[in-house]
């Protein structure tokens, strides 16, 4: 029996940013249509406006939810589930409540479609957190919206770049709050999520390395106040007792180099910048953001709305294309 292509819901993100451009640039590639059925969830008028920025000849066709079961998804036509939330003259490169609210609604619609199995995975273009808040949605970002609207309490952000995967114990909180939030149960659960995610992807016994919190992972109490012994070591030992191939806490200043070298399959980072920094050094256009622990698959570009270059047509689409590829790879397989 042949495998049916996955329908990937691609949310447009903030319409004042580069989301429409990276979507159009990605969907100009036949490869994407060979892999999946891409459905943009956003505003058709904004996609049409962006065609001029990227010199695209694609046909943007606005569709309704009732039509989703009858689309043929041929290269050359971009189907947009048109929520019609933005004005045609939305200013580019500016924070606006209008665009922030719309970005939330695109994601909420995608989550609803995934729950109803009308799409198989979600791939998100970037939103702007300030605009999101101005639009009345007080979330730190995509990940927290997804968790809230799916009723998920245990989740984590995983970043994937060439030769490096990183999963986070904490993400969008201040550093002092992050250290307070780290505890053995949360560290253990993130180790579990890393193990489960990589096992499902085909790695039989993934090699997991856990960062310390302090410089040199505390160096036996020389740095910090015993955070590693209190918050990290019990989680690592518990996971090891269950047969998970995990080591740590290890000094973060050398661990990422060792992982890129091939010593480990994934790093458990303690806080946002500890994990994001090394991934972004490898290239802003190469990273993909994956939310693990959700009942639905969600991937994303690992860059922001890039307001400074919106409308110039110079943004790279590599991260969006890789995010679509990984959404297809992780999506439930249909016959």
DSSP state for residue 13 in the 8-state scheme: -
Cβ-based neighbour number of residue 165 at 10 Å: 23
Residues 5 and 148 in one domain: yes
Residues 169 and 142 in one domain: no
Q: Is residue 238 part of a domain?
A: yes
Please check whether residue 278 is in contact with residue 164, taking contact to mean a CB–CB distance below 8 angstroms.
Answer: yes
pLDDT in tens, 204-213: 899 999 999 9
> Given this model, what pLDDT does residue 60 score?
97
Residues 1 and 145 in one domain: yes
> Given this model, what pLDDT does residue 168 score?
95
> Given this model, what pLDDT does residue 161 score?
81
Q: Residue 312: which domain range? A: 1-153+295-335
From CA 266, how far away is CA 278, in angstroms rounded?
Answer: 13
Q: Is residue 290 part of a domain?
A: no
What is the pTM assigned to this prediction? 0.81
Token output for 204: 């039989």
Token output for 200: 């499902």
Share of the chain above pLDDT 70, in %: 97
> Given this model, what pLDDT does residue 112 score?
97
Picking from 219-223, 230-234, 255-259, 265-269, which range would have the lowest pLDDT averaged per residue?
219-223
Please check whether residue 293 is in contact with residue 196, taking contact to mean a CB–CB distance below 8 angstroms.
Answer: no
Return the axis-axis angle of helices 44-54 and 19-27, rounded to nearest 10°: 70
Q: Is residue 289 part of a domain?
A: no
Q: Sheet harboring 36-42: ordered strands across?
A: 59-63, 77-82, 36-42, 6-11, 121-124, 298-301, 288-292, 156-161, 164-168, 266-269, 208-211, 246-250
Q: Is residue 333 part of a domain?
A: yes
Residues 205 and 266 in one domain: yes
Residues 122 and 174 in one domain: no
> Given this model, what pLDDT does residue 63 score?
97
Mean pLDDT (whole number) for 86-99: 96
Domain final position from 281, 306, 327: 281
Instruction: Give 330's Cβ-side CA count (13 Å radius).
Output: 27
Residues 149 and 2 in one domain: yes
Residues 189 and 271 in one domain: yes
Residues 167 and 139 in one domain: no
Residue 167 has phi, psi (to 5 degrees) of: -120, 145
Residues 136 and 11 in one domain: yes
pLDDT in tens, 169-183: 998 899 999 999 999
CATH classification of the domain holding 82: 3.40.718.10
Q: How many residues does the chain have?
A: 335
Look at residue 280 and give its three-state secondary structure: helix
Residues 237 and 313 in one domain: no
Residues 169 and 135 in one domain: no
Number of structural domains the chain divides into = 2
Mean pLDDT (whole number) for 60-73: 95
Residues 171 and 148 in one domain: no
Token output for 106: 């695109």
Confidence of residue 334 (pLDDT cuts 50, 70, 90): low
The DSSP string of 86-133 is S-TTPPTTS--HHHHHHHHHHHHHHHHHHHTTSSSEEEE----HHHHH
Residue 332 has pLDDT above 80, yes or no: no
Residue 1 has pLDDT above 80, yes or no: no
Confidence of residue 285 (pLDDT cuts 50, 70, 90): low
Domain final position from 281, 303, 318: 281
Q: Is residue 243 part of a domain?
A: yes
Please check whether residue 141 is in contact with residue 168, taking contact to mean a CB–CB distance below 8 angstroms.
Answer: no
Confidence of residue 160 (pLDDT cuts 50, 70, 90): confident
Q: Is residue 34 part of a domain?
A: yes
Mention every residue, 6+ apart, whose C-beta is less than 8 A from residue 85: 43, 98, 101, 102, 105
> Given this model, what pLDDT does residue 162 score?
78
Confidence of residue 335 (pLDDT cuts 50, 70, 90): low
Picking from 22-36, 102-116, 232-246, 271-285, which range would have the lowest pLDDT averaged per residue?
271-285
> Given this model, what pLDDT does residue 3 score?
61
Q: Is residue 286 part of a domain?
A: no
Mean pLDDT (whole number) for 211-219: 88
Residue 42 has pLDDT above 90, yes or no: yes
From CA 109, how far away is CA 233, in angstroms rounded?
Answer: 41
Mean pLDDT (whole number) for 28-35: 96
Look at residue 12 and give its three-state secondary structure: coil
Mean pLDDT (whole number) for 269-286: 85
Residue 243 has pLDDT above 90, yes or no: yes
pLDDT in tens, 3-16: 689 999 999 999 99
> Given this model, what pLDDT does residue 2 score?
43
Q: Is residue 216 part of a domain?
A: yes
> Given this model, what pLDDT does residue 246 score?
98
Mean pLDDT of the chain: 92
């Amino acid at each position: 029996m042949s495998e049916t292509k996955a329908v990937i819901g691609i949310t447009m993100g903030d319409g004042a940013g580069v989301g429409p451009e990276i979507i159009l640039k990605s969907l100009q590639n036949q490869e994407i249509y060979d892999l999946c059925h891409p459905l943009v969830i956003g505003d058709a008028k904004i996609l049409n406006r962006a065609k001029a920025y990227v010199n695209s000849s694609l046909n943007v066709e606005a569709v309704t939810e009732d039509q989703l079961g009858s689309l043929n998804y041929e290269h050359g036509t971009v189907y947009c589930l048109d929520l019609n939330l933005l004005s045609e003259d939305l200013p580019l490169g500016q924070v606006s409540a209008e665009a922030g609210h719309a970005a939330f609604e695109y994601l909420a619609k995608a989550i609803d479609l995934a729950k109803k199995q009308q799409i198989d995975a979600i791939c998100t273009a970037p939103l702007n957190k300030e605009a999101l808040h101005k639009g009345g949605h007080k979330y730190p970002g995509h990940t927290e919206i997804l968790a809230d609207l799916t009723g998920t309490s245990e989740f984590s952000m995983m970043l994937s770049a060439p030769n490096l995967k990183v999963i986070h114990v904490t993400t969008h909180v201040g550093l002092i709050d992050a250290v307070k939030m780290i505890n053995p149960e949360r560290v253990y659960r993130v180790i579990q999520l890393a193990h489960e995610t990589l096992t499902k992807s085909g790695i039989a016994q993934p090699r997991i390395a856990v960062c310390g919190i302090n410089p040199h992972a505390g160096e036996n109490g020389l740095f910090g106040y015993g955070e590693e012994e209190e918050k990290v070591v019990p989680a690592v030992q518990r996971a090891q007792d269950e047969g998970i191939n995990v080591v740590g806490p290890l000094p973060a200043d050398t661990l990422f180099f060792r992982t890129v070298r091939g010593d480990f399959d994934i790093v458990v980072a303690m806080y946002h910048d500890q994990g994001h920094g090394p991934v972004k050094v490898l290239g802003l256009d190469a990273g993909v953001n994956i939310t693990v622990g959700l009942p639905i698959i969600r991937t994303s570009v690992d860059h922001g709305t890039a307001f400074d270059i919106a409308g110039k047509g110079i943004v790279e689409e590599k991260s969006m294309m890789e995010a679509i590829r990984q959404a297809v790879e992780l999506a439930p397989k249909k016959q």
